[in-house]
Structure 1
Amino acid sequence: MTESKTPLICGRREARRRDRQDMILTVAQRYFLEHGYAGTTMSGIAATLGGSKGTLWSYFPSKEQLFAAVLDRVAAAYRARLSQILDPDADLSITLHHACVSLTTKVTSPEAIALHRLIIAEGGRFPEMSKIFFELAPRNTRGLMANFLAGAMTRGQLRTADPNDAARALMSLCMAGTHQQLLMSQIKEPDPAQIERDAAFAVDIFMRAYTPTTNI
């Protein structure tokens, strides 16, 4: 009887640990955005959580690892959504438009803009923070997009080229409008209609550059 209860007890313990970790990440994300990377301390986060610093360290041994975990959770959730949009069996232009709208909507959210400003403001003093951000967010998302574009090139829907360069070009076009304006405080909030226009512009330019040429 004792043996049959052991997995249940372990399962509950693991569930409590995951819940506690999720709560830590939620609090830490808000703390980083409100106080900046330099102004964030493990002691401060522990105090906000209402626990000891030792307990926090048992989950995340350093501020760098905690920051990475915060970013990884957010980035992984978005990549899962983007993966559903990038359907290789759907119309390519429509799929890219939906992907660009999704990407632009994500990077123009208040949390994403605050994080981007944090990276710009403090990345020079804390290169490890900037590296963590780049590896877990832009690079991984670009890799996902590159894999999709590589498939489109293999199917003959796009001209053969470096898929990483193609992904970088498309994502840069997406971020050249509303995102740039928000980042530089030229506008206060994103306009969904403008994001749709930004996406249409980005896809139009991209398809002009990467549509296969035909020999006449």
Structure 2
Amino acid sequence: MTRQKGRREENREARRATIVRLARDAFLQQGYAATSMSTIAGRLGGSKGTLWAYFPSKEDLFAAVLDDLTVNFRDNLEDALRPGRDCRTTLSDFAERFLHKIVDPHILGMHRLIVGEGGRFPEIGRIFYERGPKQVVERLSNYLHERMEAGDLRADDPQHAARNLIQLTQVAQSLRLWGVMDTPTPEMLQAHAADAVGVFMRAYAA
């Protein structure tokens, strides 16, 4: 039986979501270094004590922002890699969903932030890796391992194979980050995903 939330718990969750949204906007607009807990408390309209009651440090708040940006994608990823379909169809679905996510303006902004400030604040790179790329590689490599065991793909290091597919797919994101590609249409993303999976399947065909 699902437990019903009380009004106080609902209010606390709503307050937390507001803090995360305000922090996301502050980080993306001002950068990590220029965004302080005082800045976010000012946007929230409360004291730093109120903010610290939810997040004891800026690192914890940054991690919450990344979780908020990626939680729906992780669920989406599970659906893309669901069993019952042929390998190429599954990987094409994964690549297309992955592309839609990584060219999202918020994700592009976060990549720019990590690259621009990660040298001075290496903790943000580690937080980003744990919340995003690491989980994507692990889930995809688990699927590829299953397909290798089933004989659909040739035997190889599944994590290495997962990284290869991800790197093939990320070319479109790089072009967006460099400013040499306009906002891609769904048709463009679908075609790029198909190309990436085509190269991958030629390399790893059983």
Q: TM tier, shorter chain?
A: over 0.9
Q: How big is each residue's C-alpha offset from its partner over 1:137-170, in whole Å with a ceiling of 9 and x where there is no partner?
A: 1111111111111111122111111111111000
- Residue 194 of structure 1, aligned match among 177, 188, 202: 188
- Residue 76 of structure 2, aligned match among 57, 76, 81: 81
Q: How big is each residue's C-alpha offset from its partner over 1:66-111, in whole Å with a ceiling of 9 and x where there is no partner?
A: 0011102222221111111112211211111111011011101111
- Residue 205 of structure 2, aligned match among 207, 211, 214: 211
Q: Matched residue of 1:158: which SS? A: coil
The runs of at least 4 consecutive aligned structure 1 residues that moved more than 6 Å come to none
C-alpha RMSD over aligned residues: 1.4
* Structure 1 residue 12 displacement after superposition: 2.1
Contact persistence 1:108–1:179 (CA under 8 A): yes
Equivalent position of 1:41 in the other structure: 36
Distance 2:10 2:153 in 1: 46
Name the TM-score, length of structure 1 as normaliser.
0.90
Whether 1:60 and 2:55 are equivalent positions in the alignment is: yes
Give unmatched runs, 5+ long, in structure 2: none
Q: Matched residue of 2:120: which SS? A: coil
Q: In the comparison of the two structures, how many residue pairs are matched?
A: 204
Contact persistence 2:32–2:117 (CA under 8 A): yes
Contact persistence 1:86–1:95 (CA under 8 A): yes
Q: Which amino acid aligns with 2:175?
A: Q
Q: How big is each residue's C-alpha offset from its partner over 1:6-42, in whole Å with a ceiling of 9 and x where there is no partner?
A: x98x722222111111111111111110110011110
Where do residues 66-215 of structure 1 align in structure 2 (5 Å cutoff)? Answer: 66-176=61-171, 178-212=172-206
Q: How big is each residue's C-alpha offset from its partner over 1:122-145, in whole Å with a ceiling of 9 and x where there is no partner?
A: 110100011111111111111111
Name the TM-score, length of structure 2 as normaliser.
0.95
Between 1:186-195 and 1:150-159, the stretch displaced more is 186-195
Distance 1:47 1:188 in 2: 35
Q: Equivalent pairs: percent with the same residue? A: 44
Between 1:187-196 and 1:36-45, the stretch displaced more is 187-196
Q: How big is each residue's C-alpha offset from its partner over 1:33-71, in whole Å with a ceiling of 9 and x where there is no partner?
A: 011001111011011011111000010000001001110
Q: Which amino acid aligns with 1:12?
A: R
Give unmatched runs, 5+ long, in structure 1: 1-6
* Structure 1 residue 202 displacement after superposition: 0.7
